[in-house]
Structure 1
Amino acid sequence: MPTLLITGANRGLGLELARRYATDGWDVLACCRSPENARELNQLAAASGGKVSVHLLDVANNTQRQSLAAQFKGRPIDILFNNAGISGNWGTQSFGQCQSDEWLEVLRTNVIAPTLMMQDFAANVAMSDRKIIANMSSKMGSIADNTSGSSYVYRSSKAALNMVSMSAARDLARQGITVVALHPGWVRTDMGGPNGELSVEESVTALKRNLTNVTVADSGRFIDIDGSTIPW
């Protein structure tokens, strides 16, 4: 059976993605920072008949990430989904309000951690059938789409993640790995807020459809929720 490794699987899009892939018969390696507090994820794992396993992983923690990579050494991973991310405090992201410590924390989680995840698990992806790495980006990381300004911290982290995704797409092409950056839409989650245009279920349906349709020719694309390409 194919295998999905997904970070930030304890809530929102990550939890629903884990649920959907398990329902489709995939083995799901569901990672989160505090498994002991991940009630819904643990319930999903308990009811999955062994399809979902829960693993400790703070993506910004080098020791935990390397331990997980050692645990799964030699295991094919069809999709590595770097879903975990943080927004930072929206109230301190306007010009004149940004603070370096918060900005560095967001960059560490949203940019550096996914890059190191790709480094540590590329060999697992390369030995699988599907060979896909998906990085959860945001249209807020598109320079061409930025007509409102502000949100310096979050925007810059997703723009940087897009560049990382493109570089990895080039570097991993020789291993047959496809790397894409995905926009999930404006979703009603803790991060997206209550006014989002899409439910979690609607977003995940579209994300799964896009990933199912991805081929090696799509490597390096920044894919909108409707399957179109978002301009950088």
Structure 2
Amino acid sequence: MPTLLITGANRGIGLELCKQYVQQGWRVFATCRSPEDAKELNQLVADNKDLLSVHALDVSNEYQMSELQKTLKNVPVDILLNNAGVYGYGATEFGKTQSDAWDEAVEINLLAPMKMMEHFVENVAISDKKIIASISSKMASMEDNTSGGSYAYRATKAALNAVMVSAAHDLKHLDITSLILHPGWVRTDMGGPNGEISVEESATLLRKNLTDCTIADSGCFLDIDGSIIPW
């Protein structure tokens, strides 16, 4: 049975990915900061107890990460998906960026995926599919930046891309594929009501990209349609 370990699973794309992977018969280890408040996720667990479990994980808390690592010791993880992220609303406009917003964006968008990879690389290495993927954004592309703003979000996602490319090289000897995924402009709390696609569409296409990828794609920055995003 293939397995998925995903962060930020309590809402939006993360929650929908849990639903779809469970429907496909995957074993899903879903993590979120406050499981007691994740009503939809807990209901999904109640309906799929053999396939889905929820684990408390604030991705900025490395102690919790270590504890989860102990819980999943020797458990193969086919896909480690770094999905948790923040927009950095206090660091969007030039001249008005706040240090605490920058700190949070760096912690959640950049350092957390790095530490998740370091903690769970052995789980991925003993799996069949051997994929580590991070949800980035086309807003991290320098070439695609035609509007400015969104300083913390753009910068931390661009830095995340650099981390994932380095991991593609460093983990090649383990046959691990390191992927950078743009989820599309999605109608979520972060994406807003004017997004181009629904969470269902985004999750379906993300799954397709994860299914279709090979080790040759390691380090690639993939758009939601599977094409390469310019850096």
Same fold (TM over 0.5): yes
TM range (shorter): over 0.9
- 2:77 counterpart residue number: 77
- What does 1:48-197 correspond to in 2, within 5 Å? 48-89=48-89, 92-197=91-196
Matched AA of 2:154:
R
CA contact (8 A) 2:141 2:158 kept: yes
Q: CA RMSD in A?
A: 0.8
Could you tell me which residue of structure 2 aligns to residue 46 of structure 1? 46
- Normalising by structure 1, we get a TM-score of 0.98
Looking at structure 2, the residues matched to 56 and 190 of structure 1 have their Cα atoms a distance apart, in angstroms, of: 21
% identical equivalent positions: 61
Range moving further from structure 2, 42-51 or 213-222: 42-51
Q: What's the counterpart of residue 25 of structure 1?
A: 25
Structure 1 counterpart of 2:183, which letter? Answer: P
Q: How many residues align?
A: 231
Task: Please state how far the C-alpha of 1:49 moved relative to its aligned partner.
Answer: 3.7
Aligned partner of 1:16: which letter?
E
2:209 matches 1:207 = no
* Structure 1 residues not aligned, in runs of 5+: none
> What corresponds to 1:223 in structure 2?
222
Residue aligned with 1:140, SS: helix
CA displacement, residues 53-76 of structure 1 (integer Å, 9 cap, x when unaligned):
000000110110111011111110
Question: Bigger CA drift: 44-53 or 188-197?
Answer: 44-53
Residue identity opposite 1:131 in structure 2: K
Name the CA distance, whole Å, in 2 between partners of 1:160 and 1:13.
22
For 2:78 and 2:56, the matched residues in 1 are separated by 20
- C-alpha separation between the residues in 2 aligned to 1:59 and 1:101? 17
Task: State the distance in 1 between where 2:11 and 2:92 align.
Answer: 24
Distance 1:112 1:47 in 2: 34
Amino acid at match of 1:36: E
2:91–2:101 Cα contact (<8 Å) kept: no
TM-score (norm 2): 0.99
Task: Measure the CA separation in 1 of the matches of 2:110 and 2:14.
Answer: 18
The alignment partner of 1:185 has SS state of coil
Per-residue Cα deviation, 1:127-165 (whole angstroms, up to 9, x for no partner): 000000010000001111111111111000100000000
Contact 2:133 2:181 in 1 (8 A): yes
Rounded Cα–Cα distance in structure 2 between residues aligned with 1:37 and 1:156: 30
Q: Which amino acid aligns with 1:204?
A: A
Map of 2:3 onto structure 1? 3
Q: Secondary structure at the match of 2:80?
A: strand
**C-alpha contact 2:3 2:26 (8 A) present in aligned 1:** yes
Aligned-partner Cα distance in 2 for 1:92–1:13: 23
Cα distance in 1, alignment partners of residues 50 and 36 from structure 2: 18
What is the distance in 2 between the residues matched to 1:123 and 1:68? 13
Residue 12 of structure 1 corresponds to 12
Instruction: Say whether the 8 Å CA contact 2:125–2:175 is kept in structure 1.
Output: yes
- Does the 8 Å contact 2:91/2:151 carry over to 1? no
Match for 1:205: what amino acid? T
In 2, the alpha carbon distance for the partners of 1:207 and 1:43 equals: 23
